[in-house]
Structure 1
Amino acid sequence: MGDLPPPWGWRRVVWSLLYTVQFKPVWDDDLVRWRAGGLVLEPFGGFTREEEHEALREALDSGERLLDLLPDPPVPHDEQDIRDFLRRVLEHMDLLRPWPELPFLVMRHDPSPDLGDFRAIARLHLDGQEAAHRLHGAFYGFAGGGSWQPMRLNSGDEVALVEPWWQGSRDVAVLARPRPGRAPEDVLAAFLHVTGFVPEEIDDLTDGLNAASRGGAGSGWLAYLLRLENSIATLAGEEPVRVSRSTYEAFLRTRLYCQATESPGVVAVGPPGAGLVPAFTLPEALAAFAAAGKDETEPRFFSATGKDLLDLIPEGYGVLVDPGTAYATAFAAGGPG
């Protein structure tokens, strides 16, 4: 079929998937697990996980010759190889359920986008290549010589990263599509919350950045990273891996919520010098944790960044993020590893 993707639809998903494995001589279980994990955790731009899943099912149910979708020049595979590979990827996607929430989805890119109803809410002091690398994505070219990445945040907001926007500058513009009753500063706060960009990397163009975003990488981003690492380990049949350096740095910047004691101090579990301080990415999760402990009074709590928490708690203690979840992770002052 060549190197050009087909129109949007199930054929495009299958083409994109086969494109990533076309030079692999053996489509073994390790490759199947890797690609299934990619479809769940980093779906192809313009598709949801559900659309990808349905696309593979449609392909397998179709009477079409799927071999024709394998881009050129392929390593030799036959029709049965392709159908068997797609079937196993589909089965592994189901094994990963429930799928973790994603902080954002990359939307379908229009080669001639109409950005007239978007408003610039921030100037990001990175070029498109740097911004795409931070988001593990890619910018798409459009008519006129620009490039962009359209996104839908898990808050429901639609934003677009665009370059160039300002004459003589490669800085990326963060644009937002207005929503009734939704303040631009809240959209920017949501953008920072899930992308991990920090306020020091942007110029706020909303006339009032929401102070809740000042924690840098938001709690939603940290929870996503922890789910991601746990899902990758689960998919590989391994125990949860130690956190990566990037996840540890996100923890240090994230604002977390902890239960406080009547006297100055924090609630901790475990013996002195080897205990953990429970901390939560959402205040609602903290309230549920306190209620599960049969504490009928409204819990006292405070918030602090991960870095400040490690500085506040006694030596030898660590911070346990989101206890009770499948991705609960302990952080120590010494860093990851």
Structure 2
Amino acid sequence: MRLGVVVAILYCLQFSKELSDEEVERIARMILEQPFYDLTTEQEYEGIAAALAAEAWEHDLSWQPHGEPAIRDFLRRLLEHLDALRPWQEPPLRPLGFGRWEEFKDGVLLARVRLYAPSQDVLHARLRAVPGDADGTRAVVLRLRSGDEVALMAPPLPDGYDALLKTVVPHRPAESVIEAFLTHTGYPRDRVTPAGRGKWWGWRRR
């Protein structure tokens, strides 16, 4: 993924008239708080550094308004700014991919989460179809800044707004994990119902 991170950055810059220091700050915060793909901050940093080290770029970047010299200068300044922000905190949440999906699928039920529409909800927009799932389940497995690992899973759209929040053993007390989920996702408390409270619907209650 030599240019993968760079292409993702350029999509975020395609409407920027100038690659200013303000844009360096904006993209740096995005890298630290909203990682691209399933990458750690260090992996994102290494991807940018590898792209800068390459003498030639194989991707066609003619679709975006900034020339390669300006992009390279921006990326150098971005790495310098990221270095100045060390040590880096873990992002509030980071997707982990589906490598451990079976563990979370049959994991410990923590809560029900009533999602907003994907266009209004960054967390809902992160849900992806689980490969090979016959029910069309959409999910995301997350590592929270607290260190807790959880999965949010929901049925297919258009009716998939009621999601399940699960974790795996060993884990902290359920109320602590739920509190961390609220803190690091910014989800309203009244849209998260702990297991055993309130009325539950029938989708995968286990």
1:155-208 per-position Cα deviation (integer Å, ceiling 9, x unaligned): 32221222228xx652122122x1336444443343234334354322222x59
* Secondary structure of residue in 2 paired with 1:191: helix
Instruction: Count residues in correspondence.
Output: 191
Residue 160 of structure 2 corresponds to residue 172 of structure 1: no
Residue 81 of structure 2 corresponds to residue 89 of structure 1: no
Q: Distance in 2 between matches of 1:37 and 1:200?
A: 29
* Secondary structure of residue in 2 paired with 1:73: coil
The residue number in structure 2 matching 1:28 is: 20
The residue number in structure 2 matching 1:161 is: 152
Q: Distance in 1 between matches of 2:45 and 2:181?
A: 27
Q: Distance in 1 between matches of 2:186 and 2:140?
A: 16
List structure 1 segments (4+ residues) > 6 angstroms apart after TM superposition.
none
Q: AA paired with 1:158?
A: E
Structure with max Cα Rg = 1
Q: Distance in 1 between matches of 2:52 and 2:58?
A: 12
Residue 181 and residue 85 in structure 1: after superposition, are their counterparts in 2 closer, same or farther (change >3 A)? closer
The residue number in structure 2 matching 1:300 is: none
Q: Which has the higher contact order (CA 8 A, sep 6+)?
A: 2
Q: Distance in 1 between matches of 2:140 and 2:117?
A: 9
Identity %: 34
1:38 corresponds, among 23, 30, 39, to 30
The residue number in structure 1 matching 2:194 is: 204
1:126-159 per-position Cα deviation (integer Å, ceiling 9, x unaligned): 24627834x5963334445443232101232221
Q: AA paired with 1:138?
A: R
* Secondary structure of residue in 1 paired with 2:88: coil
Residue 82 and residue 66 in structure 1: after superposition, are their counterparts in 2 closer, same or farther (change >3 A)? farther
Give the TM-score, by structure 2 length: 0.73
1:56–1:86 Cα contact (<8 Å) kept: yes
Aligned CA RMSD, in angstroms, stands at: 3.3
Q: Distance in 2 between matches of 1:136 and 1:82?
A: 32
* Secondary structure of residue in 2 paired with 1:26: coil
* Equivalent runs, 1:137-286 vs 2, <5 Å: 138-143=126-131, 145-164=136-155, 170-176=161-167, 178-180=168-170, 182-205=172-195, 207=196
1:57 corresponds, among 43, 49, 56, to 49
Unpaired segments ≥5 residues, structure 2: 198-206
2:144–2:181 Cα contact (<8 Å) kept: yes
Unpaired segments ≥5 residues, structure 1: 1-8, 209-337
Q: Distance in 2 between matches of 1:86 and 1:36?
A: 10
Residue 162 and residue 180 in structure 1: after superposition, are their counterparts in 2 closer, same or farther (change >3 A)? closer
Shift of 1:38: 1.8
The residue number in structure 1 matching 2:91 is: 102
Residue 25 and residue 18 in structure 1: after superposition, are their counterparts in 2 closer, same or farther (change >3 A)? same
Q: AA paired with 1:88?
A: R
1:80 corresponds, among 69, 79, 91, to 69
Residue 67 and residue 175 in structure 1: after superposition, are their counterparts in 2 closer, same or farther (change >3 A)? same
Shift of 1:90: 0.9
Residue 185 and residue 69 in structure 1: after superposition, are their counterparts in 2 closer, same or farther (change >3 A)? farther
* Secondary structure of residue in 2 paired with 1:66: coil
Give the TM-score, by structure 1 length: 0.48
2:118–2:125 Cα contact (<8 Å) kept: no
2:130–2:139 Cα contact (<8 Å) kept: yes
1:17-66 per-position Cα deviation (integer Å, ceiling 9, x unaligned): 12222343432333222212221232224112222112111221233x23
